[in-house]
Structure 1
Amino acid sequence: MFLVPTSRPTWSWTTLMSDFLWALPILCSAASLLASMRLLRDLHNASLMYHRKRMMNCQLWHLAMGDVTLSVSIVVDCFMRGFMRYINWFGMDAVCSVVFVGAGVGMMTPCIVEVHLSLSLLLTLVRSDRGLDFLWRILPVVWPLGTFFAVWSTFRLAVAWIPDDGCVEGQASEVVAAVEASCFIFAASTYLLSSYHVMCGGSANQSVRNKVYARVQCYLLTWFVCSVPDAVRLMMPDALCTIPWLTACTLSLVSLNGLLNTVVYARQRMEAQRLRNGPMSGSILMSGGPRHSFLVSLGTATVHHPVVSWSELSDSGEIVDSVA
């Protein structure tokens, strides 16, 4: 590559604000990147603890890796737009295309994983072993699907490097909006079915109901905050979808997706971990002082030992793990 000199405009408040406008999505992406890396570390520690793979751990691993890919791509894109836009290197069009493909993979792969998460929750609640086994087998397919849609979207956007502007979309594209809308409709419908099942089925306790309701609400909130603004921008006319401040604001919201996913799922998984360890394990371990036990008997007591099969224990654990 060789450098083609360009004239940098004279310093002004407008130029300074334009340069540092892209610092906001970079900071948001950095926060999401750190949160996603923390989630990946926790998932790795959990796999070492249980010595076997759980479906939701693998789902969250794919979700976190997609968020990492998106965060890194947004950081590179915004750095090029804000601090490298006054230079013109040969081959920058190809660099922009690679960055946009990475961002597309990071956006669409988590959307597909969210669909997988919603389906696994519903199938776990209805105790469909065959359906869960099928979902387990097709989980790695989320990356080829996300890559295909990302390449298609980048081709439709006609991304190009323009000096003084950076990587700019040449035209509007409906691919990202169509994929995100389709995944949202499917996942939201599945979550609503799960909510209806736990509300009217009568087989789920209050803890499971609360976790299902919390996941539905958090999913809807995250999608409307992070995905809707950028999808609307990409469907706008060419003159509107390339406005710098609008692009920076929507990218900032998109880059928060990894942080919100980590906060939601990490919090729910900590609660599920306490449920699996037992309600008293955390409180006993937190205190090192002496404890005394007393035997209290009220009338005649009869002890029954129910017979519980291993399949029932496994199903119960999977329900707690899936709604986490």
Structure 2
Amino acid sequence: MRVLVTGGAGYIGSHIVLELMELGHEIIIVDDMEKGNEANLFPENEFIKGEIQDPEILKKAFAKKVDAVFHFAAWKAAGESMTDPLKYTMNNLNGTFTLLNAMIQYGCQYIVFSSSAAVYGAPKYLPIDENHPLQPENYYGYTKLCIEENLEWFDKLKGLKSARLRYFNAAGYDPKGRIKGIEKTPANLLPIIMEAASGIRNGFQIYGNDYETEDGTCVRDYIHVSDLAKAHVLALNYIMANNQSLTVNLGSESGYSVKEMTDLSEKVVGKPISHVTGPRRLGDPAKLLASSKKARELLNWKPIYSDAETLLSSMWNLYKNL
């Protein structure tokens, strides 16, 4: 197949590209390189530098027939989305709508969309399944939900089939070491810990140690990015084989606290990692855990790299050489 990957030089997108390359697909990458890393571009793939908001860029991408789209081109910092919503409107919403219109114009009927557990907001119950109320608490989460809703309409009105994949905490790097570029300006815990361990930053902060958890720090569900990549391909196969759209969670269904991840990181890197404990952040729930039962049943998907040691060692193998 000929496949378009938006944001394909970024952290998650580049791992999906690897998975598609292993399967022998022809790949076109569109990335404006604001968050993308040149080290994650492979010469055998076609690369177009530009924004998906630009119809001329998409015209180049669809110059030859595209069979499916994997869409990762989005801003994703929840805090920033609350202070600069226009940025998220233009890139996440306007960019996606421009992409969907191009897909219809050029006859591409399948899209795998990178959504987020942020569509759920604060958990009403755990583990969170796909029937959980959708009440995002930040504008980033709203943009993901808005796109999901529009994908439903494009299915009804234009027959466009989509897989909406709601991630929990993506982490880790390719276990074979083929991805060489680290994530730019990360906002998530594990890459921040790795930056502190490798000297990129002076240390990091644990936000709150008085939550109703075993050790007082927040618990999160981490999923290895290579497990995510496998799920994306399985999701595309599903919507193509069944001509039916799909919405599923992707998580490991097990949780690690911030303190656990800090202690395990120090064990993996073999030295103390400078950190301090500060007050809670507004809006951080004590626990977030996924139910991925639907993905297991419909996609026959099971994470194999998402244990803490594999997550952290695959990251340290990259960061320790920076």
Say which structure is richer in helix.
1
Query: Taking CA–CA contacts closer than 8 Å with sequence separation of 6 or more, which of the two structures ends up with the larger relative contact order?
Result: 1
TM-score, normalisation: structure 2: 0.27
Higher strand share: 2
TM-score, structure 1 normalization = 0.27
